[in-house]
Homo-oligomer: A and B are copies of this chain.
Amino acid sequence: MDVIATIQEMQERSDKLRAAGRTIALVPTMGFLHEGHLELMRAGKQHADELIISIFVNPTQFGPGEDVDRYPRDTKGDLQKARSVGVDVVFMPSAEEMYPDRFQTRVQVEDLPHHLCGLSRPGHFDGVATVVAKLFNITRPHLAVFGQKDYQQLAVISRMVMDLNMDIRILGVPTVREPDGLAMSSRNSYLSPEERRSALGLKKSIDLANELLRTGERRAKTITDAVRSLILSHPFTDIDYVALCDPVTLETLDALEEETLLALAVRVGKTRLIDNCLLRKASDQ
Contact = CB atoms under 8 A, between A and B. Distances in A.
Interface of A: 7, 11, 15, 102-112, 129-130, 133-134, 137-138, 140, 159-160, 163-167, 249
Name, among A104, A105, A134, A160, the residue most crowded by chain B CB atoms within 10 Å (CB to CB): A105
Contact of A105 (B103, B108, B140): B108
Given A137-B165, A137-B166, A138-B165, A160 B110 contact: no
Name, among A15, A108, A134, the residue most crowded by chain B CB atoms within 10 Å (CB to CB): A108
B165 A11 contact: yes
A190 to B, nearest CB: 32
Contacts of A105: 107-110, 129, 159-160, 163-164
A167 B108 contact: no
Contacts of A164: 105, 107, 130, 133-134, 137
Nearest to A110: B104
Q: Interface majority SS on A: helix, strand, loop or mixed? A: mixed
A15 B167 CA distance: 10
A277 B137 CA distance: 33
8 contacts: A7-B165, A104-B110, A105-B159, A105-B164, A107-B108, A108-B108, A137-B165, A138-B165
Nearest to A156: B105
- Enumerate the 9 nearest inter-chain pairs by beta-carbon distance, A residue then B residue, closest first: A105-B163, A104-B110, A137-B165, A104-B111, A106-B108, A138-B165, A134-B165, A105-B109, A105-B160
Contacts of A109: 104-105
B110 A167 contact: no
A163 B103 CA distance: 6
Contacts of A167: 11, 15, 137, 140
Contacts of A15: 167
A159 B108 contact: no
Contacts of A7: 165
A137 B136 CA distance: 11
A100 to B, nearest CB: 8
Contacts of A106: 107-108, 110
A214 B46 CA distance: 67
